[in-house]
Amino acid sequence: MLSLDNIKKTKRYKDRKEYNESNPENQVHIDMTNLIDDLIKVAIHIKKISDAHSNRNADRDFSFKQYVDAYGIMASGNGLLQTNGFYIDGEKRPFVEWANEEQTKYNIYHNNLLTDIFNNVYHKGISPDKIVDLVETTDMWYNC
């Protein structure tokens, strides 16, 4: 089963991890690395959903919003986009948070970045070997 532990890593990914080990005081860099790892986890999950939908000949018009509604946010707080997120000073903030007590509205952080990753993985069907490079490249494009 595909996971962060066994997915094909890029040289850039490995270099970033080595840098963190050599520079444990650089919290900003560690936070960025943790963000990349969480984005990769989300992309892997999207790939699993895409493959499952393909195997069932499901509707390929599935949108990022439908993905968030089905898998990303749950009343129990354990939706994929609630348990993964971005980091500020070593503290994780979820990609998705409820916007009201009734849990009828939510806020998505990094929406454009996540939507692009979703579209490339789900609709373009990239191979698992390309996921890490896709996430790194997409993240750099949005953050440069």
Per-residue pLDDT of the chain (144 residues; tens, 9 = 90+): 899 999 999 999 999 999 999 999 999 999 999 999 999 999 999 999 999 888 776 666 889 999 999 999 998 889 999 999 998 888 899 999 999 989 989 999 999 999 999 999 999 989 999 999 999 999 998 876
Q: Is residue 5 part of a domain?
A: no
Q: What is the pTM of this model?
A: 0.92
Burial of 59 (0-12, 13-18, 19+ CB in 10 A): exposed
Does any domain span residue 76? Answer: yes
The reply to whether 40 falls in a domain is: yes
Domain containing residue 52: 11-143
The predicted pLDDT at position 144 comes to: 65
Q: Is residue 1 part of a domain?
A: no
Whole-number Å distance between alpha carbons of 83 and 81: 6
Is the residue at 116 inside a domain? yes
pLDDT of residue 58: 65
- Residue 91 pairs in a beta bridge with 88
| Residue 105 buriedness (CB in 10 A; 0-12 / 13-18 / 19+) | exposed
Strand partners, 86: 93
Total domains present in the chain: 1
Q: Is residue 44 part of a domain?
A: yes
**Residues 118, 18 contacting (CB under 8 angstroms):** no
